[in-house]
Each structure stands twice: as structure tokens, then as C-alpha cells.
Structure 1
């Protein structure tokens, strides 16, 4: 089994203020996000992808359509973006002011969600483990950073950021790449 885990491309145009966007906000890709998806498509042009799983949101479906136009993506609820609760749509400075930098660091480094965020970590880890044990062939998974970090936790690795337009790769249950941008 080979899993190629891709974080969707950029959703904010250059110069546009970046906000914390998760499960509640269904943004399309920005032009730079489409360019990131096209770079990923070139990177994996010689890869035979057997199956494609996406989160329910538009930005992941658009990224997948550019990467694997020959496949019909399957929506997987467990790939859904994190629900940032009261911080959805907020600028990062406002999020830090509300929860504190230490709390945000705990989310980034240990996947411990801040107060008000809706994250069922055990269910997400279980879903990734089930996927790893049952999947075959080469599977493209397009999701968000928050959802992708649970793949690493399912492998008993520390969470690590996956930037927009970057990918991670797991072959036979072993992490072989993470946060690679072509």
C-alpha cells in the first residue's frame, strides 16, 4: 500500500489576510492553490493512482481534480477539516489572543485541541489505522493539515505540519516523506 497524503492548495490570494479556516468554511482554491495542485500533478504524472479519497470540502475536491482528473474522488468524512469552533474565520492574532500561544503550540506539537475546537482525535486515529490496514494499491488522499496530522499519530509518530500544496507519503506503513512541495 502506498498512501500519498496531499494538503489542498492555497485558498487565499497573495496579499489577502490569512484566516483560520476549517470545516465550516468551504473556500475554492486561489490561483496560487491551483498552481500548487498543478505542480503536484506534474510531480506524480508517472504515478499510477488507483483510488482518490477527499474531504467533503471544495478545496480538496478541486485539488484532487487537478492531480487525478481520471479518477472520481470518494468523499471520506474522516478526512474532513478540523472544526475550529469560535476561531473559524479569525485572523491568527485573534486566535492567539483568545487561546494563548502555548495552547496553539500544544495543538501543533501534540494534536491537543484548544477549547471550543471540535476534534475527535481517537476516531480520527482509528480511521487512519483502519485505512492503513485495509488499503491496497496507490491511494491519493487530499485533506487539510489538521486532518493529515492524525495519519502520523496513527503511525505513532509526532504530529507535524503539512503546508498547503505539500504531500506526505506512506509506503507499507512506513513514513517515507512529509511536507514535500514539488
Structure 2
């Protein structure tokens, strides 16, 4: 082949369009509305003896997000099994499925405590939990454990709903974990994101596996206070 022919071939290859990845799978991430424990900043995970319902403020938040999302194309709603998420999902007025692996972290012996109380009770364990992904609260679940099950749930939902919009109703740690994984960020990113009760975030997963975060902690729909 002549030098000119090779150059022509290079130009042809360079001009080839990228492969058609099709529409992304969009995950809309909805944190549940507030409970009585939310207002006091207490650990409320899957290891708690009680499964608290939405407080009055949480029900108002769920109604507000339902109004905000009305008319938004959503193909599937999937909820954590915990009551506050199921009540938030029900307020949307759409059928929903339950995914066990979207449940909140098991906080072990820290369930019901504030951060300050947990730190005072187990200072060394608390420091390790903040610093090391594999460290867990006594009798509880580590961030690394949560990431494994949340990623597995994400992958199952991707396989079942590729190219569609899936609304996930879950909790702070699972939703932050999905966002962290999308960004390829370390576990310390969990402490650098704020997800308010009934806030909305979204990410898009493309056919080649690339993931983009579209927005984070949207609270424009929520009533004041």
C-alpha cells in the first residue's frame, strides 16, 4: 500500500462514527422522607429493633416529591424493604417492587444512637469505621459490605431494565454508595455528600459501562423547613 493509501485509510478510520450505545439506564435516587429518628440525627439502620414509619414531616415530603415527579417518565419503582421507604414509594402512586439489598446499613450496637453517642461509647471502633472501609460498628455492617450488596442490586437492575428509567427509594448510605461508585471515588466521599430526606439525585449508566452523575441532592420540591 502506498503512503497516500495508508493516510487515506487512517482518515477513514478516524472519521468512523462511535458505536451506538443506545439510551442510558437512568437511576433516579430518592431518599425516604423523614422519620422521628431522622430529625435527631440518630442511626436508624436495618439492624434496629424497630422499623420507624414516616413522621408527619416525612409524609408531607413524600407527597411533595410525588407531585414534583408527576409527569416524569418512570418505568419502574424499586424500594428498600424498610417501612419508611415503602411508605415513600407508596406515596408516588405507582406500583413498586422491593429490593432487599437497598436496605440501610446495619449499624449494630449503634442503632438509635447519635454520632456523638456512638463515638463516646466506642471511640476506637468509631474512628476505625470512619477511616477503614472494612471496619464495621460492633455487631454491624461495614461500608465495604454495603458496597458489595448495593453494587449487586445495581447490576441486577441494569440487566432487567437496560435503557429505562428506574426510581430507587432507599437510604443515605446505599444511595451515597451508588453515587460514589459512579464517580469512582473512595469511601471517604460518603462523608462529603449531603442527601436530605426526600431529596432526589440521578445517574446514568451507558451501554459501555460509563456512568455519569446528572444531579445531586435536589430539594427544590420540598416544603420549607
Same fold (TM > 0.5): yes
User: Is the deviation greater in 125-134 or in 163-172?
Assistant: 125-134
Instruction: Provide TM-score, normalisation by structure 2.
Output: 0.69
Indicate the structure (1 or 2) with the bigger Cα radius of gyration: 2
3-state DSSP class of the match of 2:85? helix
Q: Which aligned pairs between 1:1-182 and structure 2 lie closer than 5 A?
A: 1-12=25-36, 17-23=40-46, 24=48, 25-67=50-92, 69=93, 71-100=94-123, 102-103=127-128, 105-106=130-131, 113-116=135-138, 117-119=140-142, 120=145, 121-132=147-158, 134-136=160-162, 137-155=164-182, 156-157=184-185, 158-159=189-190, 160-172=193-205, 173-182=211-220
Report if aligned partners of 1:104, 1:114 keep a CA contact under 8 Å in 2: yes
Report if aligned partners of 1:96, 1:104 keep a CA contact under 8 Å in 2: no
Report if aligned partners of 2:44, 2:111 keep a CA contact under 8 Å in 1: yes
Report if aligned partners of 2:37, 2:43 keep a CA contact under 8 Å in 1: no
| Deviation, structure 1 residue 113 | 4.7
Runs of 5+ consecutive residues of structure 1 not aligned to the other structure: none
Report if aligned partners of 1:12, 1:18 keep a CA contact under 8 Å in 2: no
**Counterparts of 2:31 and 2:215, CA distance in 1:** 13
Instruction: Provide TM-score, normalisation by structure 1.
Output: 0.83
Runs of 5+ consecutive residues of structure 2 not aligned to the other structure: 1-24, 206-210, 221-225
User: Is the deviation greater in 154-163 or in 96-105?
Assistant: 96-105
User: Is the deviation greater in 127-136 or in 51-60?
Assistant: 127-136
RCO greater where, 1 or 2, for CA within 8 Å and sep 6 or more?
Answer: 1
3-state DSSP class of the match of 1:118? coil
Q: Please list every run of at least 4 consecutive aligned residues from structure 1 whose deviation after the TM superposition is greater than 6 angstroms.
A: none
- How many residues are paired up? 176
